[in-house]
Amino acid sequence: MFNTNFNERRHLIYEVVKCRISPVLWQPITSFRVVFKKHTLTLDDLSTLANQNWLNDQVINMYGELIMDAAQNKVLFLNSFFHRQLMTKGYDGVKRWTKQVDLFSKSLLLVPIHLEVHWCLVATDIARKKICLFDSQGSAPHKVAQNILKYVTAEAREKQRTSFVNGWAVSYNESVPQQSNENDCGVFVLEYSRCLALAQPLHFSQRNIPKIRKRIYKELCDCKLYEQVQQ
């Protein structure tokens, strides 16, 4: 900061004013909340959609709720804590998640998975009995799809849906849009989920992500998905 040339008085005034007002501009509005069903988003949560920030669980999970609403309950979106619970406690630790839901009456099961510093998605086409790994970096371990396969077959046994116990196919190499940075994996997961749930083609790329972030922000604030706009 001491290398700045302040010979120009207007530049000096601009720098001082900018420093004085910046804390006010970034002060959080503590009373701001977006509430939808069991989800609550604060301004801090929504700010993860700005620039190239990493999305948090709250944004991922509320957007999943909007997806289920838009898909008219034909899609089940299990929140971002599901896979972690499945890995630590096994099927018995998550079987209550579908206590009031018939998984096999849905057309699609979506499971966002957080791998420490990376988001990926496992999508299960119930009717076709196919499980696909959607990964915007191509680095997610194949075992995450196998974990969901084990869950689905265990659920079929628990609910006595014998026709869904066997015959599943698993795909790890889906041709999907890829990110070109280290920050947008969460956005890719939400856009994969949206397109799959609404039966739309995955016609987006890294260059569309800034607009997609803004659209997701607006959709979360308005608590509803909008028609897909031309990117």
Condensed to tens digits (0 to 9), the pLDDT of residues 84-105 reads 999 999 999 999 999 999 999 9
Q: C-alpha angle 200/205/208, rounded to 5°?
A: 95
pLDDT band at 27 (very low <50, low <70, confident <90, very high): low
Q: Select from 229, 172, 224 the least CA-distant residue to 200.
A: 229
- Measured distance between the N- and C-terminal CA atoms of the chain, rounded to whole angstroms: 40
d(CA 109, CA 193) in angstroms, rounded, equals 10
Strand blocks (E) in 51-177: 75-77, 108-114, 119-125, 130-134, 169-171
Q: What is the pTM of this model?
A: 0.84
Q: Which residues contact 199 (CB under 8 A, 6 or more apart)?
A: none
Mean pLDDT for the stretch of residues 69-77: 95
Chain segment 103-125, per-residue pLDDT in tens: 999 999 999 999 989 999 999 99
Asked whether the predicted pLDDT for residue 19 surpasses 90, the reply is no
Asked whether the predicted pLDDT for residue 15 surpasses 80, the reply is no
pLDDT for position 228: 56
What positions carry a catalytic annotation? Answer: 118, 135, 185
d(CA 45, CA 106) in angstroms, rounded, equals 30
Mean pLDDT for the stretch of residues 162-189: 95
pLDDT for position 136: 96
pLDDT for position 103: 97
Asked whether the predicted pLDDT for residue 83 surpasses 90, the reply is yes
Q: Which range, of 10-14, 170-174, 188-192, 226-230, averages the lowest pLDDT?
A: 10-14
- Mean pLDDT (the chain) is 89
Asked whether the predicted pLDDT for residue 144 surpasses 80, the reply is yes
d(CA 153, CA 137) in angstroms, rounded, equals 28
Domains with residue ranges and CATH for the chain? 29-222 (3.40.395.10)
Centre a 10 Å sphere on the Cβ of residue 47 and count the other Cβ atoms it contains: 15
pLDDT for position 11: 52
Q: Which range, of 168-182, 197-211, 215-229, averages the lowest pLDDT?
A: 215-229
Better-predicted residue by pLDDT, 137 or 28: 137
The percent of residues in the chain predicted with pLDDT above 70, rounded, is 85
pLDDT for position 168: 98
Contact between 122 and 145 under an 8 Å Cβ cutoff? The reply is yes
pLDDT for position 24: 44
